[in-house]
């Protein structure tokens, strides 16, 4: 996820695949909980640790490395995701210990995240249609979480669970495309170009 206009010399190798693989592992850990098949304290604490190490740790490292590479967009996105996964770790741990996070605070927070990720979704359209789809899945997750929170219903839980799985699979696909396509010298994993192009810089008089 390089800057769309300039390509400064990177300090590190491209960290995006590491962040995406960490996200996929986190989604995998959350899937049994999201589908309601693993809700014991042991399951919650196990998922919490995986969310912290992979979801939070890998994405925080990817974000810092992106910032070092002068990639403001990738750095901002991955560090935001990282702290979001740390929040997941805290919530799962709290629930395992019998403490339910406050409903109103979570709904308010989800609304804030939806605004943030909706803007980031638009920006990803300048990089790749697949990245745009990746963020769009996240947007839909927050839309259903907010609606469910406002209506006090768990009716959307299966939809959110399916979107969690889809997000993990998309993350792996993009990571493999970035890792294996250059090694193989051909497109093993489909990775489309931008959905739309940035406006050209204004001409100097």
Domain layout of the chain by residue ranges: 16-101+155-184
Instruction: Please identify which residue in the block is written with the tokens 């939806």.
Output: 114
Q: What is the pLDDT of residues 154-188, one digit of tens each?
A: 999 999 999 999 999 999 999 999 999 999 999 99
Tell me what the mean pLDDT of segment 64-88 comes to: 95
What the block records as the tokens of 42 is: 């042991």
Looking at residue 194, what DSSP letter applies?
-
Q: Is the pLDDT of residue 69 over 60?
A: yes
Tell me which H or E stretch contains 172. helix 157-184
The reported pTM is: 0.90
Residue 86 CA to residue 4 CA, distance in Å, equals: 29
What the block records as the tokens of 60 is: 């925080």
What the block records as the tokens of 148 is: 């469910």
* pLDDT, averaged across the chain: 93
The pLDDT of residue 10 is: 86
The pLDDT of residue 198 is: 78
């Amino acid at each position: 996820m390089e800057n769309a206009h300039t390509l400064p010399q990177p300090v590190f190798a491209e960290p995006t695949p590491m962040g995406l693989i960490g996200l996929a592992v986190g989604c995998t850990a959350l899937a049994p909980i999201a589908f309601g098949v693993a809700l014991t304290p042991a399951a919650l604490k196990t998922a919490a640790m995986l969310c912290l190490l992979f979801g939070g740790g890998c994405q925080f490292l990817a974000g810092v490395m992106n910032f070092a590479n002068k990639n403001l967009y990738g750095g901002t996105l991955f560090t935001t995701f990282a702290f979001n996964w740390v929040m997941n770790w805290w919530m799962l741990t709290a629930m395992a210990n019998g403490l339910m996070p406050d409903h109103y605070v979570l709904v308010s927070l989800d609304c804030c995240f939806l605004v943030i990720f909706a803007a980031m979704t638009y920006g990803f359209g300048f990089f790749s249609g697949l990245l745009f789809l990746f963020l769009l899945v996240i947007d839909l997750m927050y839309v259903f979480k907010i609606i469910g929170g406002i209506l006090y219903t768990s009716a959307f839980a299966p939809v959110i669970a399916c979107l969690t799985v889809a997000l993990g699979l998309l993350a792996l696909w993009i990571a493999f495309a970035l890792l294996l396509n250059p090694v193989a010298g051909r497109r093993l994993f489909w990775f489309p170009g931008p959905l739309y192009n940035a406006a050209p810089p204004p001409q100097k008089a």
